[in-house]
Copies of this chain bind each other. A is one copy, B any other.
Amino acid sequence: MSQHRIAVVGGTGPQGRGLGYRFARGGHDVVLGSRSAERAEEVAAEVRGRLDGLGGAGEVSAATNDEACREADVVLLAVPYDGHDELVASLPLAGRIVVSCVNPLAFDKRGAHGLVIDHGLGSAAESAQRLQPDATLVGAFHHVSAVTLWGEEDFLDGEDVLVVGDSREAKEVVMEIARSVTSRPGVDAGKLRLARQLEPLTAVLISVNRRYKTHSGLRVHGL
């Protein structure tokens, strides 16, 4: 397995922290990024505590979001959709594989549903690609629960990571990184525009979680 140096933009949020933990546990070096380097260091220390005594783990460090991206070959965007475009436009992402797990959702009294991006013809991942034409965007890790990621299981091996992107090579890198989460490669789910389908699907899982009091995930049958 190739080791990567992965920056997690939004590394102090529950999804970023959980994925950073899993990536490091799988042997990758992880730089947790945040607006505040101090806050990032607090969470990095917490993650290092969880990894203590586990063989083969990568290093976990902390930085501002900007510095974290500069140090990495792969960048995970794990930020809220609110303010997404401004933040993404400001980051040094050129030449990097940029993985978006951003879920643009809205909530009202009927529950969660997908936000409509670009009149239904867009997604957070596609917005990021447009804002950063020299980065290579991949969509993945939308459906793994922060709670499960931070949990005690060795792997989320009942779940699959669906991976979309227009670069086959970048997808292969991310599919391999997904091994650190599910114990097997992510599933190549097609072109980047299918992020339009993957991102709001999280609203369905949130509904399932509410109804069944669980932290659900997805598995692709038939592979």
Contacts and interface: CB of A to CB of B under 8 A. Distances in A.
A212 B207 contact: no
A121 interface: yes
A173 interface: no
A189 to B, nearest CB: 5
Interface in A198-220: 198, 200-201, 203-205, 207-208, 211-212, 214-220
A114 B110 CA distance: 24
Contacts of A121: 116
Given A116-B121, A198-B204, A191 B111 contact: yes
B218 A223 contact: no
Nearest to A210: B190
A194 B190 contact: no
**Copies, count:** 2
A220 B222 contact: no
B216 A223 contact: yes
A57 to B, nearest CB: 25
Contacts of A190: 111-112, 203-204, 207-208, 211
A196 B113 contact: yes
A221 B189 contact: no
Contact of A197 (B114, B145, B148, B193): B114
B197 A201 contact: yes
Interface in A51-101: none
A124 interface: no
Nearest to A121: B116
B193 A110 contact: yes
A158 interface: yes
